[in-house]
Amino acid sequence: MIEVVLRKPKPGAFRPGHPWVYRSQIGRVGGKPAPGDLVAVSSASGRFLGTGYFNDKSEITVRILTRDPGPIDKDFFLARMEKAAALRQRFVKDTNAFRLVSSEADDLPGLIVDRYGEVLVVQFLTCGMDRLREPALLAARAVFSPSGIYERSDSSSRRLEGLEARTGWVEQHCGAQVVVQERGIRARVSFGEGHKTGWYLDQRENRCLLADLAGGGEALDVFCYEGGFGLHLASRGVKVLGIDIQEEAVKRGEEHRRLNGIPEELLQFQTANAFDALRSFEKEKKKFDLVILDPPSFVKKKSAIEGAVAGYKELLLRSMKLAAPGGLLAVFSCSYHVDESLLMQIAMSAALDAHKTLKVIRFLKQSADHPVNPFIPETYYLKGFLFSVS
Ligand code: SAH
């Protein structure tokens, strides 16, 4: 195995427990590893730090897989996946759609495994993990006993790694669709379609929580996708309007409403740009008892923060004006670069401009099947607040 020797870290730059090695941290590479090759990483003083995979097309040139000596084979994946499975067994309740393996957060950088009923949807995000596809799939089959495995390796990160998209069935002893349930709410997922692996699994606990806390009235579910929040709220008698820019998503939201036997009076959808929709509700002086803002990641790169801040501020400002007295506002950011403290600053700035006061009712985060490893801050990507606005 080719050796990668790190430079002596600059003061404060050492991140113990973090699996990423940036190009700038590397002092010497003892050979010419091909993209995806396994390498042995050691410190400037020669101490073995771990085995990882190499890709010089990426700024994150090495991702460490293990700090123990030993092969990266089926048994390696078995051990990691069994650990991941045990965590879900203990903390994921009342659903048959959840994330089984969450990349770095489960010590398997570049690998996503999601369960939809008896079927697994897998994503290989990096060149190194792609090269380990065979042992990873063997282990997943053994640990999770699926009736089908669908590969959805079509994320934009693959292009940065120099990889083509790969999608389709790895094996199929099941239908092309499944109806999953999330605390009594049903959703139809068609493998290979929709965003991410099919459903925003990371928001599940927040959907349940808001349904518990809303307490009636009218809600506006902005960036509603296929109806996630709205379905939960409407099933508790809240009247909901869902807004999404994608017609296909809204159509599926409608189907989900029917699938759950929710009357049309309680749950409606509109295909619209959120910014335009909020502006016209404001003009009409509409009021809502709950507004949910769950926008897509506006910032994939650090350099795009400024635009994103302006976007969040406009969304928050308009939503605060739409909140009925004592109404609730839930806002989320799923991009790592807009962190909890920045999101709060934007909310405060919007509240000042809108002449509103805020109280935090709940600090929100991604569901337990997307664990946060505090040694890898990037694993804490979805955060939010539930405010009471007055
Ligand atoms: N809350 C959803 C997930 C939202 S994902 C759930 O729980 O399932 C973000 C959604 O925002 C996507 O469905 C995307 O189509 C939509 N979107 C992106 N830009 C938008 C815009 N400008 N206006 C309205 N919707 C938008």
pLDDT digits (tens, 9 = 90+) for 30-82: 999 999 999 999 999 999 999 999 999 999 999 999 999 999 999 999 999 99
Top mutation candidate among 186, 244, 366 for ligand 1, by most atoms within 8 Å of CB = 244
Given CATH 3.30.750.80, say whether it is the number of domain 74-179: yes
Q: How many CA atoms lie within 13 A of 382 on its CB side?
A: 20
Angle, helices 305-322/340-354, rounded to nearest 10 degrees? 50
Specify the 3-state DSSP secondary structure of 104.
helix
Residue in 188, 204, 207, 225 to alter for ligand 1 test, most ligand atoms within 8 A of Cβ:
225
List, by residue range, all CATH 3.40.50.150 domains of the chain: 200-389
Q: What is the pLDDT of residues 175-217, one digit of tens each?
A: 999 999 999 999 999 999 999 999 999 999 999 999 999 999 9
Task: CATH 2.30.130.10 in the chain: give the residue spans.
Answer: 2-66
| Catalytic positions, written as ranges | 334
148: β partners: 119, 172
Percent of the chain surpassing pLDDT 70: 100
Q: Which residues line ligand 1 (CB under 6 A)?
A: 200, 203, 207, 223-225, 228-229, 243-246, 249, 273-274, 294, 296
Sequential pLDDT tens for the chain (390 residues): 999 999 998 887 778 899 999 999 999 999 999 999 999 999 999 999 999 999 999 999 999 999 999 999 999 999 999 999 999 999 999 999 999 999 999 999 999 999 999 999 999 999 999 999 999 999 999 999 999 999 999 999 899 899 999 999 999 999 999 999 999 999 999 999 999 999 999 999 999 999 999 999 999 999 999 999 999 999 999 999 999 999 999 999 999 999 999 999 999 999 999 999 999 999 999 999 999 999 999 877 777 888 899 999 999 999 999 999 999 999 999 998 999 999 999 999 999 999 999 999 999 999 999 999 999 999 999 999 999 999
Give the whole-angstrom CA distance, residue 357 versus residue 153.
44
Write out the two tokens for 282.
């404001």
Strands 323-333 and 177-182: unpaired
Phi and psi at residue 113, to the nearest 5°: -130, 120
- Tell how far the Cα of 245 is from the centroid of ligand 1, in angstroms: 7
Beta strands at 239-244 and 323-333: parallel, antiparallel or unpaired? unpaired
Q: Give nearest CA residue, ligand 1 atom 1.
A: 224
Extract the runs of DSSP E, i.e. beta strands, from 154-297. 166-172, 177-182, 185-190, 218-222, 239-244, 267-271, 288-293
CA distance 153 to 143: 21
CA distance 45 to 200: 44
- Residue 104 has which token pair? 């770095």
Residues of the chain with CATH 3.30.750.80: 74-179
Which residue is associated with the tokens 């099941």?
Answer: 174
- CA 296 to ligand 1 center in whole angstroms: 6
Residue closest by Cα to atom 20 of ligand 1: 245
* CATH of region 200-389: 3.40.50.150
Indicate the helix (H) or strand (E) that contains 358.
strand 358-365
Please give the structure tokens belonging to residue 328. Answer: 């609730």
Which ligand 1 atom sits closest to the C-alpha of 221? 1
CA of 162 to the centre of ligand 1 (A): 28
**The domain 2-66 belongs to what CATH superfamily?**
PUA domain (2.30.130.10)
The order of strands in the sheet holding 323-333 is 267-271, 239-244, 218-222, 288-293, 323-333, 383-389, 358-365
CB contact at 8 A, 390 and 326: yes
Long-range contacts, stretch 170-178, CB < 8 angstroms, 24+ apart: 170/122, 170/137, 172/148, 173/147, 173/148, 174/118, 174/119, 174/147, 174/148, 178/116, 178/117, 178/118, 178/119
